[in-house]
Chains A and B, each alone.
Chain A
Amino acid sequence: MGTNSRAFSKQGAVDIEAIAAALRPKFAITAGPETEVSHTWLDTFDWRLHEAGMSLEYLDDGPLTMQLPDGSRLQGPRAKKWPALLHDLPAGRLRDALDPIVAPRALLSVVTVQRAMRESRVLNADDKTVARLLSESSNDGTSRLQVQPLRGYEAEGDQIARLMGRVDGLTPSATTPYDDALTLAARSPNDQEQNLAAPLQPETPAPVAVANMLAQFAAAIDDNVAGTIAAIDIEFLHDLRVAVRRTRSILKLAGDVLPANLAERFAPEFKWLGDLTTPVRDLDVYLLELDKMADGLASADPRDLDPFRSFLVRHRAAERRRLVRGLRSQRFKQLMSDWRTELAKVAADSHGGPAATSLARERIERAFRNVVRRGKRLAADSPSEQVHGLRKRCKELRYLLEVFRPLFADAQYRPLIKELKALQDTLGDFQDGEVQREAVREFAAVMMEQGAAPPATVLAMGELAAQLDAHQLNARRALVGVLRPFLANENRARVKALVR
Chain B
Amino acid sequence: MKIYATYNIKGGVGKTSAAVNLAHLAARSGSNVLLWDLDPQGAATYLFRVRPKVKGGSRALVEGTRSLDDAIKATDFDGLDLLPADFRYRNMDLQLDDVKRPTRRIHQLLRPFEGEYDVVFLDCPPSISLLSENVLHAVDTLLVPMIPATLSVRTFDQLSGFVNDFDGRQPQICAFFSMVDGRKSLHHDLMERLPAERRGILRTAIPALSIIEQMAEQRAPVTAFAPQSVAAKCYEALWYEVNGANG
Contact = CB atoms under 8 A, between A and B. Distances in A.
Contact of A128 (B49, B71, B72): B49
Contacts of B76: 121, 128-129
Interface residues of A, number: 10
Interface stretch (A149-157, A165-173, A288-296, A472-480): A149-157
A150 B50 CA distance: 12
B115 A93 contact: yes
A126 B51 contact: yes
Contacts of A127: 49, 219
B48 interface: yes
B74 interface: yes
Most A CB within 10 A of own CB, among B48, B73, B74, B81: B74
B49 A151 contact: no
Interface in B200-246: 219
A151 B50 contact: no
B51 A152 contact: no
Contacts of B73: 150-153
Interface in A112-126: 121, 126
Interface string B74-103: 101000010000000000000000000000
A150 B73 CA distance: 7
Interface in A37-81: none
Consensus secondary structure, chain A interface: loop
A152 B48 CA distance: 13
Contacts of B71: 152
A324 B48 CA distance: 60
A96 to B, nearest CB: 8
A175 B202 CA distance: 54
A153 B82 CA distance: 12
A151 B81 contact: yes
A345 B71 CA distance: 66
Interface string B28-52: 0000100000000000000011110
Contacts of B51: 126
A128 B48 contact: yes
Contacts of B81: 151-152
A128 B76 CA distance: 7
Given A126-B51, A128-B76, A151-B81, 11 more contacts: A93-B32, A128-B48, A128-B49, A129-B76, A150-B74, A151-B72, A151-B74, A152-B73, A152-B74, A153-B73, A153-B74
Interface of B: 32, 48-51, 71-74, 76, 81, 115, 219
